[in-house]
Copies of this chain bind each other. A is one copy, B any other.
């Protein structure tokens, strides 16, 4: 399992609408091939900064299968208008003792 961490910057004045859009997209992620869960975290120190966290079986499940899907287009259609810049996306693993 790997974690996708997508760092997203929005106008904090639009937080409620953005969170609502992400919430509408949650079923799209959760139904995707290899998706094990998703969540959203909002930074306390800078409330325009969010991290979308998605757990996938593999990086390919995210970068190839999900990004190539109609559901990714739907995600970008609903959440994309809030992005002030292209999200920064990285993937991570948990070393064994922390799995």
The answer to whether A97 and B26 touch across the interface, beta carbons within 8 angstroms, is: yes
The answer to whether B44 and A59 touch across the interface, beta carbons within 8 angstroms, is: yes
Q: Would A90 and B42 be within 8 Å (CB), given that A19-B95, A19-B97, A97-B19 are in contact? A: no
> Which residues of chain B come closer than 8 Å to A94, judged between CB atoms?
39-42
> Which residues of chain B come closer than 8 Å to A15, judged between CB atoms?
95
Question: Smallest CB-CB separation from A4: which chain B residue?
Answer: B44
Distance of A59 from chain B, by nearest CB (Å)? 7
The answer to whether B92 and A51 touch across the interface, beta carbons within 8 angstroms, is: yes
Q: Is A93 an interface residue (CB 8 A)?
A: yes
> Which residues of chain B come closer than 8 Å to A49, judged between CB atoms?
90
Known: A26-B97, A41-B92, A42-B95. 18 other contacts (CB 8 A): A3-B41, A5-B51, A19-B97, A23-B97, A23-B98, A39-B94, A40-B94, A40-B95, A40-B97, A41-B93, A42-B93, A42-B94, A43-B90, A43-B92, A44-B92, A45-B90, A46-B90, A51-B92
